[in-house]
Amino acid sequence: PFLKTTKTKSGGKITLKPAESFSVRSALSSQTGYTFSTGIGEFDRVLGPGLTKGGVYLLAGQPGIGKSTLLTQLALSISSPTSPLAPKNTSLRGGKGDAAIQKQSSSLTTSSRAQSRDLTPPRNVIYVCSEENPAQVATRITRLQGVSLKTDNIKLLNTSTVENVLEEIKSDPNCLVIIDSIQSVFTAVNPTTPGSPSQIRDSASYLIQAAKENSVPMIIVGHVTKDGDIAGPKMLEHMVDTVLELSGDRQHLLRLLRTVKNRFGPTDETGIFRMNSNGLEEVKDPGSILLEGRVKNAPGSCLTMIMEGTRPLTVEIQALAVSSPLPIPRRIAKGISGNRLQLICAILTKHLNLSLATKDVFVNVTGGMDIKDPGADLGIALAILSSVKDKPLPENSICFGELGLLGEIRKVGFTDKMLKEAKALGYTTIFSPISQTSIRSIKLM
């Protein structure tokens, strides 16, 4: 095929390859798009089908939140000879496991059959140590799984140069590549310093191109700014296939993995982990952790149900309303938006004649949770009301629902599912949009 060489603005040379055209049928039968389980259930829950060959994933989070720990555990799971990596070929919905893969492989052309090994889940991992040295990563591996585990399939690549990473990918295309991090690698084509917007853009472009051409799944770690945004150009989020966010309060043990963007699966799922001495542990029953140590029948405490992805969670919201010595009382929130707290206080003042003008109001979501679900509005309001009246809510009660400015309680997504879950958990008093239509209709005291 005709190859064209051209010069870049910086004086370098690049080779332009000819375009390739595919029919829909041939594109579906290619190895690109083949998905496989990671062996970590909560990680797969967030991604949908699992990791996709040729897919590029951006993982972002605050410093010290557990990004490197999670990726080290992922590398161990992929490379372990006993890891149950279940194939999940999305282009073979009617097939079953290896039999479907073998049938697919037999129908490949001679040239494609040489690459049929790419249809198997990778067992090798290339971990690019651009921020840490290999000894630090190796120490973390032994801390998480012990020295007895066979880790020969994990290659720790001590480099910050993108070109070195590309050579490793060419030498072993059937692997998982982890770049830690995009802010610390650079390409020789761009003379700017690592971490600059143009350097991040160019480095990511070469890495993504290599992942697509070699059908290699790649996970790129990204830093975040003090405002919580991913550092670097916004273009980076558009270039990758999936953007993952690992969040949580570093003073608490709970960690939440969410998808901001996902070309291969849903964006409404949440993976829940708990940090311990062995790394990040999957949490199958989040309620047992979130409600651990709760004081029952206490004024200012309210249980509410929220949705994290498609999973209902029971969380405790605590409120404290006290007389304020300040001319302008304070409204302090942790785990919810401060603007949301101001809005709910205004609704209570207007529709329940609740005197909050001389009171400081503090609201906290226990367990280090950060709630964005509007269905927690009713729980926040009832917690404040309980604290002001200094009387506990009814025993064995729970609530959920969004509050409107007119005082109405509005339905939220998955209302029926949350109601069913609340009944299954044995709650006898349920305040919801089904049973109450307005905040004024709730008689507590």
Domains in the chain, ordered, with CATH?
32-112+119-284 (3.40.50.300), 288-441 (3.30.230.10)
Task: Give per-residue pLDDT as tens, 270-288.
Answer: 899 999 888 999 988 887 7
Query: Is-cis flag, bond preceding 10, omega within 30?
Result: no
Looking at per-residue pLDDT, the higher value among 259 and 287 belongs to 259
Predicted local confidence at residue 15, as pLDDT: 62
Residue 22 has pLDDT above 90, yes or no: no
Predicted local confidence at residue 88, as pLDDT: 54
Mean pLDDT value of segment 294-321: 93
Task: Give per-residue pLDDT as tens, 391-441.
Answer: 999 999 999 999 999 999 999 989 999 999 999 999 999 999 998 889 988
106 pLDDT tier (thresholds 50, 70, 90): very low
Predicted local confidence at residue 103, as pLDDT: 40
Looking at per-residue pLDDT, the higher value among 16 and 304 belongs to 304
Predicted local confidence at residue 287, as pLDDT: 79
216 pLDDT tier (thresholds 50, 70, 90): very high
**Which of 23, 87, 82 shows the shortest CA–CA distance to 52?**
87
Mean pLDDT value of segment 74-85: 77
Residue 174 has pLDDT above 60, yes or no: yes
Task: Give per-residue pLDDT as tens, 322-336.
Answer: 999 999 999 999 999
Cβ partners under 8 Å of residue 126, min gap 6: 155, 157, 165, 168, 169, 172, 175, 176, 177, 178
148 pLDDT tier (thresholds 50, 70, 90): low
Task: Give per-residue pLDDT as tens, 113-128.
Answer: 334 445 678 889 999 9
Predicted local confidence at residue 8, as pLDDT: 56
* 0.75 surpassed by pTM: yes
Pairing verdict, β 124-129 and 409-410 = unpaired
The proportion of the chain whose per-residue pLDDT surpasses 90, expressed as a percent, equals 62
Least confident of 10-24, 67-81, 336-350, 397-411: 10-24
Mean pLDDT value of segment 8-28: 69
Question: For 111, how many CA atoms within 13 A lie in the half-sphere containing its CB?
Answer: 1
Mean pLDDT of the chain, nearest integer: 85
Give the angle subtended at the CA of 391 by the CAs of 388 and 394, to the nearest 5°: 125
Predicted local confidence at residue 328, as pLDDT: 94
The proportion of the chain whose per-residue pLDDT surpasses 70, expressed as a percent, equals 84
> Could you tell me which residues are beta bridge partners of residue 361?
321, 331
Mean pLDDT value of segment 182-188: 95
The secondary element (H helix, E strand) that includes residue 190 is none
**What sign does the CA torsion over 181, 237, 259, 402 have?**
positive
